[in-house]
Amino acid sequence: MSFLPAPLVVRSSAPLARVSGVTRLAAGTIWLIAAAAIPDAEGELVLLVAALVGLVVWSGIPLRPLPGRMWPVALAALGLGLTAALGNTADRDPTLPTLLSWGPLRLTPPGLEAGVALAVRLLVIGLTSLLVFAPADLTRLADALVQQLRVPDRLAYGSVAAMGLAPRTAADWQATGAARRLRGLSPRTPAGRLAAVPGRLLVVLVMAFRRGERLALAMDARGFDSGLPRSRFRPVRAGPLDALVLAAAIGTVLLVAVIGQLG
């Protein structure tokens, strides 16, 4: 009754699952900046290979369900890469050799390079996000944000609690549609369906809001945010493994920079 995918079950003993969420965020940010800044396809490919190695060796993420989850990213990368390759300004330069041509479209070496660079960049961004967010659950990420980055408890754990209500809201959306159909109010045309969306959305939002309100009351009743300093059931400490993960992220970026200089 839900269109939210089941969460990935990640091996909790994996190195990336054992480091602090803030470490993963920092390492991921370094990679994302590098992926955006690197101009050439070779550098992006090095990052992609490093990300894949990280995925297989360090993340503990099960590989089998990944194609099912990541295909939209792969499709977007392919489509945008193809567009960049064929729409490249260099393709109009008659002195360049033609690799492929189809009607008015023509593929040249610089176009190919630009297309591959963009496609690989998008794959790197997608994989990096996966490596940052998939290895540990929301609780651990909230713990790290609160304890290491001083994010307010109310924001961090309030978000954790709110995420728990998300599947119910998805189910509510389907149920409101079903209820309208049974009451004879189901619109026949796509335009009618579109017009019915605000009404259904209102019901779902009211329910989500009230559920959130009840949850907030329950949290208050348990002494949350009452002004007393909170203690920590799950202390987060940065250790050698955190340093290693950060060093690996920075090292890969430096390696890419060196290769870029040599090339």
Contact footprint for another protein (CB under 8 A): 1-2, 6-9, 65, 137-139, 157, 160-161, 164-165, 167-168, 172, 175-176, 178-186, 188, 199, 203, 206-207, 210-211, 214-215, 217-235
- Torsion, Cα 91 109 49 21, to 10 degrees, reads -30
Closest to another protein by CB, 3 or 102: 3
Confirm if 149 and 22 have CB atoms less than 8 A apart: yes
- The residue (of 196 and 257) whose beta carbon lies closer to another protein is 196
The least CB distance from residue 193 to another protein, in Å, is: 11
CB of 163 to another protein, least distance (A): 8
Nearer to another protein, 36 or 179 (CB): 179
Closest contact distance (angstroms) between CB of 253 and another protein is 33
Q: List the beta bridge partners of residue 102.
A: 105
Interatomic CA distance for residues 187 and 194, integer angstroms: 9
**CA-CA distances (angstroms) from residue 241 to 206, 238, 248?**
45, 8, 10
CB-nearer residue toward another protein: 92 or 193: 193
Burial 141-169 (b: 16+ CB within 10 A, else e): bbbbbbbbeebeeeebbbeebeeebeebb
- Rounded to an integer, what distance in angstroms lies between the CA atom of residue 224 and that of residue 161? 12
Residue 97 to residues 93, 104, 108: CA-CA distances in angstroms? Answer: 9, 15, 6
H-helix or E-strand spanning residue 32: helix 21-37
Nearer to another protein, 106 or 200 (CB): 200
80 vs 161 by CB, closer to another protein:
161
Burial per residue of 125-134, b for 16 or more beta-carbon CB atoms within 10 angstroms, e otherwise: bbbbebbbeb
Give least dist CB 188 to another protein, A.
Answer: 8
Phi, psi at 105, each rounded to 5°: -85, 140
Tokens read off for 121: 């960049």
User: What pairs with residue 101 in β-bridges?
Assistant: 106
Query: From the CB of 204, what's the least distance to another protein, in Å?
Result: 9
Give me the least distance between CB of 156 and another protein, in Å please. 12
Nearest CB to another protein, comparing residues 70 and 207: 207
Distance of closest approach, residue 87 Cβ to another protein, in angstroms: 40
